[in-house]
Structure 1
């Protein structure tokens, strides 16, 4: 009896340490189809699992696409990033993505439109203007014919940085700081700055600045 209780306790403990999230694949497909049609070179759409309570990354243990009881593994990065594919041998209708996370916490899908990581070094304002144009184009395309008229204002670019020195330089340049520490650069500044000038700090992420 003690062995049976111990065995059941181990199973219960393992269930507490893992969780499965089921996501409709059509959402992923819609975003990826947009990027494929626009064929933009400098921006991308990323899919991330984050904890609903804290916003921290949900650690991924396994990810699969499920269609008609058939399963196919999809790539992922352990720190919460899913790398789904556009299928060639089955339809998207009814497909699900099942994700097993390491911890038993409530996770949600977060879709991020950003500049590609390959674009983040030595950013010139000419390149930033192109990135901004592409980011706005994707937002409007995803919103659809009617929805694009209800989008919040597209104000420019948002930069995620780690260095306190970067925020000091940003203020000296007349840029704006968001409440979370991101650096905000308006479309007006992007257009009025000499194109060959380089952004004076390193960034971890470039995303749209909208609705503020």
Structure 2
């Protein structure tokens, strides 16, 4: 039952992380807090990949439901190892979702924001290999939306950190569930044969 409690606590830890991923992704649609940029399609294309809403958010909520409902599953299945097998699959889903969020956020951060420079809308930092991140004096090249570079860097960094934490939590449950699903039945068989 200890492993079930551990899984439930990991599920509870994932809830605020997934919620914050969704919020951060939604905020990326509204640079400078205005709706005009999304209406005119002047946001970075990576925002439309829904890395925080889908990957780090809704997909990660699947293992949350499984981890929190494992006690009921163990009661209905009759064994804890059966519930642990389900948690391993759910953890893999969480790993995929958080990994997707991390990857797309990293690519979006690498490419830089989509903004209006002196003449047109473009991605001025697309080909500099992320060097703009260490040169804040160059950020003023983006005139619209106001402070869009800071907006994107902050929110994408938050998404990177949150998705890395989600990945770590799902990985912990994957290992825990795998060990419990594989080793626990073997231990019970050995204990039974020693008592017989």
TM-score (norm 1): 0.22
Higher RCO (C-alpha 8 Å, min separation 6):
2
Rg (Cα) greater in structure: 2
More helix by share: 2
More strand by share: 1
